[in-house]
Amino acid sequence: MKKIQSRSTKQLAFLALLILFTGFIHDTMRAQTPNHHFVVVEYLKVKPGDQIKYLDVEQEIWKPMHQERMNQGIILGWLLYAVEFTGSADDYNYVAITMYDDPEQLENPWNAEIPARVHRNMKVEEIMDRTARARDYVRSELYYCVTSTPEMPLKEPAQYIQVNFMKVEPGMESEYEELEKDIWLPIHNESILLRKTVGWGLWSALFPRGAGRPYQYITLNTFSDYSYVFELDFSIPFRAIHPDKDYSEISEKTRKARTIVRSELWDLIDYVIK
C-alpha cells in the first residue's frame, strides 16, 4: 500500500532518502542495467480477524488510487500478495509490490490530488485512519530488476510466487548475476515452455543497503497452479539447455555463489497492471 504526502514520519523519511539518492540511483543503474525496472516491496502485518477489514481498505480505497497512478504514468503496476504459512509470530503476512520504469518516478511516487480525485467524498485523514487501523506498515525495500522472463512489465501477474531471499558475499555480486543470467535464465525459459512455471525474475536490493543486510537479492519462481510449486525440478530443462554441462557441478557452483536465507510462498490477492 503506497504513501501520500501526509503519511507517517517514518514513511516520509523513506521518501526523503529516495529523493536524496535519486541522482546516484539514476546514474549508476542506468549505466549498469539499461531498460530495467524498479520495484518497491512493502511488507504489511494484518492481525488475526482483521483480514476482511484490511482487504476492504486495499480494494475499495487504495486499488482505485493505484489505478489512477498507473493512468497518469507514475507506475507500471501494483500487486498485492498474501504470504502463505504465516502466523502471529511472523513480522508480516501481506506484501505489496509497486513497479516503476524510471528511477525519477521514485522521487514523486504520488500526485497530491489523487486521493481527492478518486475519493471525492472521503478526506485524506479518513483514508489514513482506516488504513492505520486495518494493518501495520512493517517496512519497505527498493529493488531493481536485473533480469526476468517474461520481461517486465508483466502482461499478467502470476497467481503464486516462490520467493527466495539470497545472501551473496561482498565482491561476488557480478559472478552471481552472471551465473543466474548465463546458466539459469535459459533454463527458466525452457521451464516456461514445458509449462512447469510461468516466469522467473532476479531482483537486486538498492535500499536498505549495508553490511548488516541479511540478503542482497531475491529470485522469484512464478506458477499458475498451486501443485506445480511442489513439483519444481530444473534438472529436466537443464539437460535440454546445457547438454554439455553437469547439473550437479553447476548446482554446487550456484550454492557457493549464494545462500538461500529464506523461501516464502506468495498468493495473489489483487492487482492493477499496465
In a domain? residue 76? yes
pLDDT reported for residue 28: 34
For the segment 175-231, what is each residue's pLDDT rounded down to a tens digit?
Answer: 999 999 999 999 999 999 999 999 999 999 999 999 899 999 999 999 999 999 999
What is the pTM assigned to this prediction?
A: 0.85
Residue 218, helix vs strand vs coil: strand
What cell numbers appear for 107 in the block?
A: 522521487
For the segment 7-52, what is each residue's pLDDT rounded down to a tens digit?
Answer: 443 443 333 333 333 333 333 333 334 457 999 999 999 999 999 9
DSSP 216: S
CATH of the domain at 199: 3.30.70.100
pLDDT reported for residue 142: 98
Please check whether residues 134 and 83 belong to one and the same domain: yes
pLDDT reported for residue 1: 45
> Final residue of a domain: which of 108, 143, 178?
143
For the segment 131-186, what is each residue's pLDDT rounded down to a tens digit?
Answer: 999 999 999 999 999 999 998 766 789 999 999 999 998 899 999 999 999 999 99
What cell numbers appear for 164 in the block?
A: 527466495
- Whose CA is closest to 159, among 222, 218, 93? 222
pLDDT reported for residue 3: 40
What cell numbers appear for 33 in the block?
A: 542495467
Please check whether residues 45 and 88 belong to one and the same domain: yes
pLDDT reported for residue 91: 97
What is the domain range of residue 177? 151-268
> Final residue of a domain: which of 143, 161, 177?
143
In a domain? residue 2? no
pLDDT reported for residue 26: 36
Lowest mean pLDDT among 17-21, 95-99, 102-106: 17-21
Please check whether residues 106 and 212 belong to one and the same domain: no
Please check whether residues 63 and 96 belong to one and the same domain: yes
Please check whether residues 180 and 114 belong to one and the same domain: no
Which residue reads 508480516 in cell numbers?
A: 92
In a domain? residue 32? yes
Please check whether residues 136 and 262 belong to one and the same domain: no
- What total of structural domains would you count in the chain? 2
Rounded CA-CA distance 270/124 in Å is: 23
Please check whether residues 102 and 196 belong to one and the same domain: no
For the segment 232-255, what is each residue's pLDDT rounded down to a tens digit?
Answer: 999 999 999 999 999 999 999 999
Check if the beta carbon of residue 171 is closer than 8 Å to that of residue 218. Answer: no
Find all residues with CB under 8 Å of 206, minimum gap 6, and list them: 25, 29, 38, 142, 143, 144
> Final residue of a domain: which of 143, 168, 201?
143
Please check whether residues 178 and 117 belong to one and the same domain: no
| Helix ranges, the chain (H) | 9-32, 51-56, 63-71, 114-118, 124-134, 173-179, 185-193, 235-241, 247-257
